[in-house]
C-alpha cells in the first residue's frame, strides 16, 4: 500500500449537540483520533460548509426549505461539504481514501422526502457536485450501505441512474433498475462471518463487473449488538468489513474509497472503530 494518503473530514460543530437519532456520539472526537493523526499519511481536514445551492439541484424546493429552517441544518451542511470535498480530493488524487463524519443527513433522504434522523441527502449532493466539476467524465459510483436500515432515500435518489450501483444490506432480497440496485436480507440476528459472506457474494463479486471509479461506503454501526439497530455484530466486524472493501477498492479503482459514518449511537463503539478504520485506510490495519 505504498503512497496511500488518507483524509479525515471532521468539523467541531459535530460534537456537543444532541443530533437526531445518533445523539452526541462524537463527544470524544477528534481527541480519540490523536494517535492516528500522528501518521504522516493521514490528514485531518476541517469539513467546509456546503452551499445550499447544491441541495436544490437534487431535492425538491420544499424539502430544502424545511431542512434549512431546522436547528440541525448547520451540522448537516458541514457534513455534506466534507463529503463533497472528500470525493473531489479522492478524484484529483490529493488523497487516496477518506473517512467522513456525518450528522443530520444521510440515507433516508430521497428527492422529495426525508426522515429517520437524515433530513437531506449526502450521496446525492456529493455525486452531483463531482459530476458538475468534471462534466466530461462519465463517472461510475458503487455505493455499499451496511447501516442496519434500508437506504430508501439513497435508492430513490439514484433510481434510473445506471452509473450508480447501490447495494443495500437490510431486510429483504431484491434486485431492480436493470440490476444496478440491490437489497440483501442480512437476517434479524446474524454473525460477523455470515454477514461478511453476504458482502463478498453480493457486493465484492458484483462490483468487479460494474467497474466503479470510486467506492462509497455508508457504514453505520447501529448493527452492533449493543446499538439501536442491533443485528448481533461485534466491533471487530466493522474492521473486517472495511478491510474487505478497501482491498476491493485497491484492486478495482486505485484505492478510491470514501467511508461515511451514518447510524449508530453507541459512543464506545464509535470511539473504538473509527481510529481503527483510519489505520486500515492508511495501510496499517
Ligand atoms: Zn440505521
Ligand atoms: Zn435495502
- Is 131 within the bounds of a domain? yes
C-alpha cell at 1: 500500500
CATH of the domain at 239: 3.40.800.20
Q: What is the DSSP string of 99-111?
A: EE---S-STTB-S
Distance 258 CA to ligand 2 centre (A): 20
Q: Give the model's pLDDT for residue 285.
A: 81
pLDDT of residue 136: 97
Whether 203 maps to a domain, the answer reads: yes
How far is Cα 109 from Cα 155, in angstroms, rounded to an integer? 9
Instruction: Judge whether 1 lies within some domain.
Output: no
Mean pLDDT of 219-223: 98
Is-contact 101 26, C-beta < 8 A? yes
CA 77 – ligand 1 centroid, Å: 20
Interatomic CA distance for residues 105 and 93, integer angstroms: 26
Tell me whether residue 188 is in a domain.
yes
Q: Identify the nearest ligand to the CA of 228 by its number.
A: 1
Ligand nearest to the CA of 218: 1
Q: Which positions ≥6 away from 161 have C-beta within 8 Å? A: 180
CA of 152 to the centre of ligand 2 (A): 7
Ligand 1 center–CA 121 separation, angstroms? 14
Q: What is the mean pLDDT of residues 176-198?
A: 97
State in Å: Cα 255 to ligand 2 middle: 25
pLDDT of residue 2: 59
Ligand nearest to the CA of 106: 1
Q: How far is the CA of 57 from the centre of ligand 2 (A)?
A: 24
64 within a domain of the structure (yes/no): yes
What is the count of structural domains for the chain?
1
Average pLDDT over residues 240-266: 98
Express as a percent the part of the chain with pLDDT over 90.
Answer: 99
- Structure confidence by residue, pLDDT tens digits, 53-89: 999 999 999 999 999 999 999 999 999 999 999 999 9
Tell me if 143 is assigned to some domain: yes
DSSP H/E element including 79: helix 73-91
Give the closest ligand to the alpha carbon of residue 221: 1
Domain span at residue 227? 6-281
Is the pLDDT confidence value at 18 over 70? Answer: yes
Residues with CB under 5 A from ligand 2 (ion): 150, 168, 170, 183
- Helix-helix angle 267-281:235-252, to 10 degrees: 30
* Whether residue 1 has pLDDT greater than 60: no
Any idea which ligand is nearest the CA of 222? Answer: 1
Quick check: is 217 in a domain?
Answer: yes
Q: Is residue 122 pLDDT above 60, yes or no?
A: yes
Residue 171 reports pLDDT greater than 70: yes
State the ligand closest to the CA atom of 220: 1
Max Cα distance, the chain (Å): 47
What is the Cα–Cα distance from 170 to 145, expressed in whole angstroms? 9
Residue 112 resides in a domain = yes
- Tell me the helices (H) and strands (E) count for the chain, helix number first: 9, 9
What digits encode the pLDDT tens for the residues 82-119?
A: 999 999 999 999 999 999 999 999 999 999 999 999 99
Give the model's pLDDT for residue 107.
Answer: 98
Amino acid at each position: 500500500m505504498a503512497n496511500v494518503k488518507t483524509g479525515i473530514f471532521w468539523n467541531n460543530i459535530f460534537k456537543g449537540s444532541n443530533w437526531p437519532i445518533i445523539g452526541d456520539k462524537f463527544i470524544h472526537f477528534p481527541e480519540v483520533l490523536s494517535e492516528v493523526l500522528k501518521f504522516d499519511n493521514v490528514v485531518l481536514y476541517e469539513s467546509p460548509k456546503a452551499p445550499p445551492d447544491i441541495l436544490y439541484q437534487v431535492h425538491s424546493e420544499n424539502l430544502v426549505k424545511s431542512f434549512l429552517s431546522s436547528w440541525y441544518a448547520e451540522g448537516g451542511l458541514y457534513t455534506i461539504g466534507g463529503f463533497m470535498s472528500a470525493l473531489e480530493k479522492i478524484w484529483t488524487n490529493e488523497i487516496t481514501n477518506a473517512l467522513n463524519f456525518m450528522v443530520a443527513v444521510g440515507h433516508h433522504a430521497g428527492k422529495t422526502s426525508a426522515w429517520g434522523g437524515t433530513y437531506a441527502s449526502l450521496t446525492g449532493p456529493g455525486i452531483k457536485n463531482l459530476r458538475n466539476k468534471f462534466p466530461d467524465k462519465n463517472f461510475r459510483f458503487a455505493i455499499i450501505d451496511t447501516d442496519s436500515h434500508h437506504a430508501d432515500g439513497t435508492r430513490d435518489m439514484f433510481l434510473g441512474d445506471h452509473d450508480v450501483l447501490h447495494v443495500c444490506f437490510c431486510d429483504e432480497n431484491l434486485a431492480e433498475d436493470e440490476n444496478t440496485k440491490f437489497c440483501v436480507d442480512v437476517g434479524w440476528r446474524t454473525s460477523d462471518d455470515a454477514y461478511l459472506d453476504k458482502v463478498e457474494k453480493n457486493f465484492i463479486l458484483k462490483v468487479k463487473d460494474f467497474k466503479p471509479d470510486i467506492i462509497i461506503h455508508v457504514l453505520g454501526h447501529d448493527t452492533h449488538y449493543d446499538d439501536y439497530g442491533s443485528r448481533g455484530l461485534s466491533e471487530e466486524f466493522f474492521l473486517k468489513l472495511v478491510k474487505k472493501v478497501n482491498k476491493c477498492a485497491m484492486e478495482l479503482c486505485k484505492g478510491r474509497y470514501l467511508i461515511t459514518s451514518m447510524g449508530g449511537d453507541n459512543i464506545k463503539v464509535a470511539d473504538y472503530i473509527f481510529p481503527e478504520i483510519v489505520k486500515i485506510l492508511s495501510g496499517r490495519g
